[in-house]
Amino acid sequence: MLVALRAILIFRPLLDVQSAPDGLVPNTKRFCRASAAAKAERRPRIFHKINPTAEGELMGNWSKWFSRYLRKACGVADDRVVFHSFRHSFKHYARACRLDKAVNDAITGHETGETGDDYGPEYPLHPLVEGMARYRVPGFTLPPPPASLR
């Protein structure tokens, strides 16, 4: 079994009880526990119970569900807006924040195909953390925490 290890960067406000929207801190902590359990059990994936489509696409069924959720629960009418749109938006706003292309690519898991990408064990974590700290979406702020957490 081939297991790929990847550093998972979590946007700091999602860990901060004082600034995260209701429900995000417990869900982020649940994700961290699930990640630790997968590592301890030497599972190749954190979400090991997700079934691939008949074509073998691992996240295909989840992506279809999310698209239906966007249309019905969120009222997004544009069929071009899909789960993968988050990745496109991240890349766009990372460029707007002047994140180095190599940092941007490392965070999103993009490879350039250049030989130098394979030099060294993995991309250093420090520039990735710094990049996430600088990342902003103009005009977007997380909603205030519920009164019970203030």
The residue-averaged pLDDT of 91-102 equals 94
pLDDT value at position 110?
82
pLDDT category of residue 149 using cuts at 50, 70 and 90: low
Q: What angle do CA 52, 55, 58 make, to 5 degrees?
A: 25
Query: Which residues, including other chains, have CB under 8 Å from residue 61's CB and lie 6 or more apart?
Result: 50, 51, 52, 53
Q: Are 8 and 34 a contacting pair, CB within 8 Å?
A: no
Q: State residue 98's pLDDT score.
A: 95
Task: Tell me, rounded to whole angstroms, the distance of Cα 50 from its chain centroid.
Answer: 17
> What is the residue type of 104?
N
Q: Model confidence over 18-57: pLDDT tens digits?
A: 555 555 556 677 778 888 888 899 888 888 888 888 898 8
- Kindly report which listed range (8-17, 104-113, 123-132) carries the lowest average pLDDT score: 8-17
pTM of the predicted model as reported, rounded to 2 decimal places: 0.64
Neighbours of 43 (CB within 10 A): 14
Res 20: pLDDT? 52
Chain centroid, CA 51 distance in Å: 20
Contact 18, 137 (CB under 8 A): no
Cα 87 to chain centroid, rounded: 8
The 10s digit of each residue's pLDDT in 111-133 is 888 887 778 777 888 898 899 88
